[in-house]
Chain A
Amino acid sequence: MIEISGLCKYYKEVKAVDHLDMTVQEGEIFGLLGPNGAGKTTTMRILTTLARPTAGKVYINGREVSRRERRIKNEIGVVSQTENLDVEMTARENMELHGRLFKIPVQERREQIEKLLAFVDLTERADTAVGRFSGGMKRRLMIARALLHSPRLILMDEPTVGLDPQVRRRIWDLIRSLNSERITVLLTTHYIEEAELLCHRVGIMNKGKLIALGTPDELKKKVGKFVVEVPNHNETEYHVCEERGEALRYASAMQKDIVIRESNLEDVFIELTGRKVGD
């Protein structure tokens, strides 16, 4: 569905994306996980033609991405990291603008708009100016808008950033229900659990490079199944163990309060980079 090879994007001093290779398969939820500045947004912007690569190639459905290639744009739905809705227009007008830009016939456009506004639970606020929406409502509207032209592929840049846990879970449900209709989803996130619970495959990005790729289970297997957390002054030391017995033996040798838990993608990230995703 998406093929990225040798992709680079350099700004003056920064290598925002540095030789990125990856593919996203049809029907999967693929997550790009990485800390601030990893190059996730830059990658997404290149996929949606908002930025031009310095080098490398990107293919979506076998066609090379460029601003002139309008067929690709018809096939993808975009939810960007910034809330790029028209704040002076109402929710319905924002949807209508999108429908017109994608040349959806009037009758179909009206029906789809109502259907999608109901889907994201905004029917009652449809005629309110978007400027008065909360962050969660804006996100939901952006998702509805991205779905209006029935794309087979959805690109979402940090779809749940800054939202409270309940809204986040609702958006996850939304994404899952889209995926159950065989819509491919590529999303970026810096939330460990979002990548772990929602995505079929995860690519871990750091400083413009892809440093690991696989299913959450595969990735976790690489570091070991269990982690013992040992508090040490103000820091926490992590000790990774392959199996339960080993973890217990290690823990019982400790004098301090310790925590034994299953490893998560954060541990994978720490193992690979020596720092936490949030740092």
Chain B
Amino acid sequence: MITDTYTVFWREMVLLRKKFKSFFAGSMVSPLLYLLSFGWGLGRNIQFGTTSYLDFVVPGIIALSAMNASYNATGASLNVSRLYYKTLEEFLAAPISVCSLVLGNIFSGCFRGLFSSVIIIIFSYLFGAHLHLNIWFFVSLLLTCFLFAALGLVAAMVVNSHEDMSRFATFVILPMTFLCGTFFRVEKYPPLVAALVQALPLTHSAVSLRAIALNTGFPLVSLLVLAAYAAVLFALGLWVTYRVE
């Protein structure tokens, strides 16, 4: 089981190594843009109480990039390997468990998500942000990567075309990018919208990463929500992978 999971992960890493340069460059673009525009451009002189806007927005940007990187890692690669190159067949016909296949893919998504998060953390220090990093910060980050990698896997296994895949991203991932408190506090919404936004996982990634980074209390509820999302999406991932044809 562990060997099989590693095999699936190994293959993703072989592919990643081959396009490492473009992957590396690609991982930097959007975080840098966010940091430049929101951190520096918009927020240079805004103070949020005692914290600077830069310190406020960096955890949000980390959540956002972790989501995008992990979701795309599993979503795009599995979608293409299922519908276009058919390489998924090789894994389905191999004597490995569905669980290994799902976990191997999710871990490779987590790896990419963590990788781009680390890049932002490094950059944000260069931009002069002050973050309070501890083990719980990485736990939230890992849960974020895990759940969005699982979401990408589920989407890739159920859609029937590349168009459907990008439609899914437009209707699910894109709204979260802007709504989920990555750039401002969700409390500013009218109550109904706030309740809706509270149900989305990225909100809780942003909330918990921010609470830890700014040292404003332990985000127990958000961590539990993230863990619940991760568990449910993982189970769903097993189910759809078992059923996929």
Find out whether the CB atom of A73 lies under 8 angstroms from the CB atom of B95: yes
Q: How many residues of A contact B (CB 8 A)?
A: 29
Across-interface contacts of B7 in A (CB, < 8 A): 97, 100-101
Surface stretch bound by A, among B63-71, B82-90, B126-134, B161-169: B82-90
Chain B, range 60-104, C-beta contacts under 8 Å to A: 85-87, 89-98
Across-interface contacts of A218 in B (CB, < 8 A): none
- A103 located at the interface, meaning its Cβ lies under 8 Å from any Cβ of chain B in the complex: yes
Across-interface contacts of A48 in B (CB, < 8 A): 89, 93
Find out whether the CB atom of B91 lies under 8 angstroms from the CB atom of A50: no
Chain A, range 72-92, C-beta contacts under 8 Å to B: 73-74, 78, 80, 82-89
Query: Which residue of chain B is the closest to A98 with respect to CB atoms?
Result: B90
* Nearest chain B CB to A52 CB, angstrom units: 7
- A71 located at the interface, meaning its Cβ lies under 8 Å from any Cβ of chain B in the complex: yes
Q: How many residues of B contact A (CB 8 A)?
A: 24
* Nearest chain A CB to B20 CB, angstrom units: 12
- A51 located at the interface, meaning its Cβ lies under 8 Å from any Cβ of chain B in the complex: yes
Contact A84-B86, Cβ < 8 Å, known A70-B95, A101-B95: yes
Across-interface contacts of A51 in B (CB, < 8 A): 245
Across-interface contacts of B97 in A (CB, < 8 A): 70
Find out whether the CB atom of B87 lies under 8 angstroms from the CB atom of A49: no
- A67 located at the interface, meaning its Cβ lies under 8 Å from any Cβ of chain B in the complex: yes
- A21 located at the interface, meaning its Cβ lies under 8 Å from any Cβ of chain B in the complex: no
Find out whether the CB atom of B92 lies under 8 angstroms from the CB atom of A87: no
Q: Which of A70, A82, A86 contacts B96 (CB 8 A)?
A: A70
Query: Which residue of chain A is the closest to B97 with respect to CB atoms?
Result: A70
Candidate in B86, B87, B96, B242 with the most chain A CB atoms within 10 angstroms:
B87
Across-interface contacts of A80 in B (CB, < 8 A): 86, 89
Find out whether the CB atom of B94 lies under 8 angstroms from the CB atom of A73: yes
17 contacts between A and B (CB under 8 A): A48-B89, A68-B98, A70-B96, A83-B86, A84-B86, A84-B87, A85-B87, A86-B15, A88-B19, A89-B11, A89-B14, A97-B10, A97-B14, A101-B4, A101-B95, A101-B96, A103-B3
Could you list 14 further interchain pairs (A-B, Cβ under 8 angstroms) beyond the known A89-B14, A102-B95? A45-B245, A48-B89, A49-B92, A50-B89, A50-B245, A70-B96, A71-B95, A73-B95, A88-B19, A98-B90, A100-B10, A101-B4, A101-B94, A101-B96
Q: Interface of B with A (CB < 8 Å)?
A: 3-4, 7, 10-11, 14-15, 18-19, 85-87, 89-98, 242, 245
Q: Interface of A with B (CB < 8 Å)?
A: 45, 48-52, 67-68, 70-71, 73-74, 78, 80, 82-89, 93, 97-98, 100-103
